[in-house]
Amino acid sequence: MHPSFRRSVAIIALCSATVMYSPPAFAGPDDGKTVATKGHVDAPKTFWENNNFVLRSERGSKGSELIDDSVIWIGKGWEENGKSKYQFSLPTDHTMDFIGQPGQTFYTAPDLMNGNHEPIWWGFGADSALPVQDFRNEAASLDIISVTGPGEMEVFVYDDTNPHLLRHFLGTSENSPHSSILTAGAHTHNSTLFTKPGRYQVTYRTTARHKNGTLIASPPSTMSIQVGGQEPKAEKTLSTQERFDAAASMELAADDYTFKVAPKEKQEKSGDEHLSTLSFSAKDTSLSGTLTLFIDGYFLTDLPVTNGQASWDEMLGEFDSKIQAVFTPNDQQHGRWISEELSYKYKQTSGTTSATNKTTWTDSSNMQRQVQPTEDIQLSNPGIHARFERVNETVNRLIVEADDPSYIGFIHGGFYSKHNSQYATMNFEGLIRNGRGQFTFNDDDGIYDDDSIQLKIIPHPLMSGGSLDTPIGGRYGNNKTPRYDGMLTIDNTQPNPSPNPKTDITTCNNKPVLDRGHVDIAASMARHSLQTTLHDDTAIVDNKSVDRRLDQVVLGVHDNAIKTQRKDKLKFLDDNYYLLPQTQHNDIIWPGYSTQAIDYSQLDGSVYLTITPASIPSGASWGAFLDASLSGDNQILLDSTTNDHLIEVGLASHAHTNWAFSSAGLYTFKVSYSAKTKAGKRITSAPSTLTFAIGDETLKKCATGNYIPDNKPTPPNPAPPTTEKPKPGGSSMFNLDTFARALFGIVASVGALTTIGAILAKFIPQPLLRSLLGR
């Protein structure tokens, strides 16, 4: 769907945990921990400290804590259009039948945010300073060791336009992946689904095998996750057992207390049809206290009882459960109560009264379920086999099978086109578990035909050996069926590098080239002024994450980024173009933009990112867009053919988009952020220069140190009419900008905006006018 005049791109947002003060009667088991919620969170994020791995919960720019000292809270949330964001219904294509039946709906932290911070944007990753150069295969592994909780957790990315391309990162169920490969600076944007609400405790550790053969493993670390219920409190509170022991024990009449679970009657919001109302009532309307709810013996939430009443709407899920209530009064004149366990069934009603008074409640919190071994695994048989299997007309699958049924490892490698034999056109990514793994991909219209294939097998650090790095004979496509039958290494060494090692171009016009990994065009604010920096997670120049000036580096793009338009035609591009994808590709730079360090409470409205061309190849076009989904077409954010150079960011956000360039060459942009303070003052960061070197030939030319391209900034046709055509070097656009801002200041000072706004609109480009008007 194409953007309207006021495009608001407020996708991914970060905020710190909201501090809430409640009576000490509340007794959540994670009260007093740092709460990660309603924003961008990487947890676990693996760091390297004191020669070992440390697992932390990183809340964007707000800091990080050990995962043992923090809690993830997934509450409810809705988009600006009212659509639920905390629910995920299993697709009808059966790709997720390992969770449940198609159409069943579950609690989920979404992989993208739209419109606000709720409920949470949660992924996992690794710090850029991980010394992967010392690890076998330059990789580590994040492992789920054990779990306690009422249901299962699954971590994935699902694209409704390409359902067969489900990426299943991690999970706790028997057939889910329990390990995910980590490289320095990696992080994910994923959905995390839970089959039931309640409290989960997931124990992780990160492992790697040193090149000398020794195993490096972090101590097991446990992360608490509160799914549904109320947000954990900032202060430590009494436990349910402590409150219960202090409460009075007395005989209760049948009508003293009533507890009931029933489908929500008044359905006002999207997703309410999946909710149940849990209600408590007392005969004495002066009663106050705390009602603690459990699901299958696991903590669900605490509710305040006031005037003898308590009620909470919760998505209990579509699986059968046991629900139990424990009431503790605030005084000694009323009795405590443990209800019997209610048998919950989806959309059915059940209830109980204090006529039944249990002496203990079911406590399953110590029922830890082991999901993965922690001991070394000896490779018993080195045989390995790889083949391609057609799924349907547009989808294919790489299947890897090891002769050792206990083998655990990762599928890597990829397709390499004739354009570039050193950088993958597409990366293979998959887990081998119990000796078998697969990677599914879209190859409609023969997009990988005649590509060569490089297969890389990386053993899990627990494996004593089992590496592979080899080409698969023949080229892919054109009805060919390439396969491989060979042997893995049998010791802890890694194989010789692939026959075409990368010959990196490290500089462009004497500046370092960043051609892979993650970077953000980041905004920050201090003393009512804005700054723009490049947050560099690539670890290419420094072995860590750093903030640097945009003009200190060049973003390099190789020919492996060449794409051909097929289904969705983008009007600002030719049939063949260079694409920096919205989701991370290991061999393509991954630029995003971030305002998550901005305190929006100091601002009046949005923050605006302006990217204006200073020098681009003659006749070239460029832009940025979001991937299409079933709900609409690609959403265009930037379009050089319409002089649309402005992105509105309505919330503290960290976002990624597709970047597209029509042709090779050196593209230079002036980049700035702007906003308006509460006092009405417009603030703008100093323009910073951002350069993209597009194409291998461009990178070779500028590697000499003095490459001056024959660029012309004239926008390609069709272009919107302007009063003055831009001149080479962008000088006329700069003059128009200066003139417009001066004119706007004069008009604003005399209060004549309403009367001559239409006249301004005829002479000032729409992006600039929106910037001036604060829209």
CATH number at residue 299: 2.60.40.10
714 and 727 belong to one structural domain: no
For residue 772, being part of any structural domain is answered with yes
Report d(CA 540, CA 185) in Å as an integer: 10
For residue 369, being part of any structural domain is answered with no
Are 276 and 174 within 8 A, CB to CB?
A: no
Give the Å distances, CA to CA, from 192 to 64, 111, 456, 473. Answer: 20, 8, 28, 39
User: Which amino acid belongs to residue 17?
Assistant: A
734 and 709 belong to one structural domain: no
pLDDT in the model for residue 27: 57
83 and 73 belong to one structural domain: yes
Q: Tokens at residue 498, please?
A: 């692939």
Q: Where are the beta strands (DSSP E) in 357-494?
A: 369-370, 383-390, 395-402, 409-416, 426-427, 430-433, 436-442, 452-459, 468-472, 483-487
156 and 279 belong to one structural domain: no
Question: 287, 317, 270, 6: which is closest to 149 by C-alpha?
Answer: 317
716 and 733 belong to one structural domain: no
β partners of residue 326 = 292, 338
Domain boundary among 487, 517, 542: 487
For residue 358, being part of any structural domain is answered with no
692 and 741 belong to one structural domain: no
Question: 391, 1, 437: which is closest to 177 by C-alpha?
Answer: 437
726 and 716 belong to one structural domain: no
For residue 26, being part of any structural domain is answered with no
pLDDT in the model for residue 654: 86
Q: Is 631 helix (H, G, I), strand (E, B) or coil?
A: coil
Would you give the distance in Å from CA 133 to the centre of its chain?
Answer: 26
pLDDT in the model for residue 651: 86
Q: Report pTM.
A: 0.83
565 and 591 belong to one structural domain: yes
Domain boundary among 227, 262, 294: 227
Domain boundary among 203, 227, 251: 227
Q: Tokens at residue 206, please?
A: 């990160």
Would you give the distance in Å from CA 770 to the centre of its chain?
Answer: 30
Q: Tokens at residue 270, please?
A: 């999207």
Antiparallel, parallel or unpaired: β 395-402 and 436-442: antiparallel
587 and 639 belong to one structural domain: yes
Which strand (E) or helix (H) includes residue 702?
A: helix 696-702
652 and 558 belong to one structural domain: yes
Sign of CA dihedral 13, 14, 15, 17: positive
For residue 2, being part of any structural domain is answered with no
Q: Annotate 705-765 with three-state secondary structure.
A: CCCCCCECCCCCCCCCCCCCCCCCCCHHHHHHHHHHHHHHHHHHHCCCHHHHHHHHHHHCC
Q: Is 699 helix (H, G, I), strand (E, B) or coil?
A: helix
Q: How many residues does the chain have?
A: 775
Report d(CA 514, CA 536) in Å as an integer: 9
Report d(CA 328, CA 326) in Å as an integer: 7
Would you give the distance in Å from CA 37 to the centre of its chain?
Answer: 14
632 and 740 belong to one structural domain: no
Report d(CA 425, CA 423) in Å as an integer: 7
pLDDT in the model for residue 503: 52
For residue 683, being part of any structural domain is answered with yes
pLDDT in the model for residue 500: 46
Q: Which domain holds residue 254?
A: 240-353
Number of domains in the chain: 5
178 and 80 belong to one structural domain: yes
pLDDT in the model for residue 756: 40
For residue 13, being part of any structural domain is answered with no
For residue 233, being part of any structural domain is answered with no
User: Which amino acid belongs to residue 710?
Assistant: D
pLDDT in the model for residue 52: 98
The domain that holds 428 is classified in CATH as 2.60.40
Q: Consecutive 10-residue runs of the chain (775 residues): their mean pLDDT?
A: 36 32 55 94 97 94 91 95 94 93 97 83 95 96 98 93 86 97 91 98 98 96 98 94 96 94 97 98 97 98 98 98 98 96 98 96 95 95 95 91 98 85 90 96 83 95 95 79 91 55 76 96 92 95 93 96 77 88 92 93 95 95 81 81 94 90 97 96 97 96 87 47 30 36 40 40 41 39
